[in-house]
Amino acid sequence: MINHFRQAPAVCPRCHYQFDCSTKIMGDDDEAPKPKDITVCFKCAAILEFTEDLNVQFLTQETMDNVPVNQLYELLFMARKIKQFWAEQN
């Protein structure tokens, strides 16, 4: 089962979409987002990471360097799916 987590509003630094919910797609289903977790903006597909206060920022070089390659593929796949979803809405 996919869990959705309610959270304080966070703002995408690329498209300024404000979201208050995230969905876990990798790792322990019951674990809420934590700082340095990686997420994908549902509006513009930017790959982002949670900050200490659970807002989001662009991926830092440090985080990027530490993402396992298979997870990087998953993130890019997710970003592509989001772009396809919005393209099909038009």
Residues that bind Zn ion (CB under 5 A): 12, 14-15, 17, 41, 43-44, 46
Query: Could you tell me the smallest distance in angstroms from the CB atom of residue 71 to Zn ion?
Result: 20
Distance of CA 13 to the CA centre of its chain: 12
70 vs 77, which CB is nearer to Zn ion?
A: 77
Q: Which is nearer to Zn ion, 3 or 18 (CB)?
A: 18
Neighbour-count burial of 56, counting CB atoms closer than 10 A to its CB (0-12 exposed, 13-18 middle, 19+ buried) = buried
For residue 1, the minimal CB distance to Zn ion (Å) is: 26
Nearest distance in Å: CB 53, Zn ion: 18
When the beta carbons of 16 and 71 are compared against Zn ion, the nearer one is 16
Beta strand ranges found along the chain (DSSP E)? 4-11, 18-23, 38-40, 47-50, 56-58
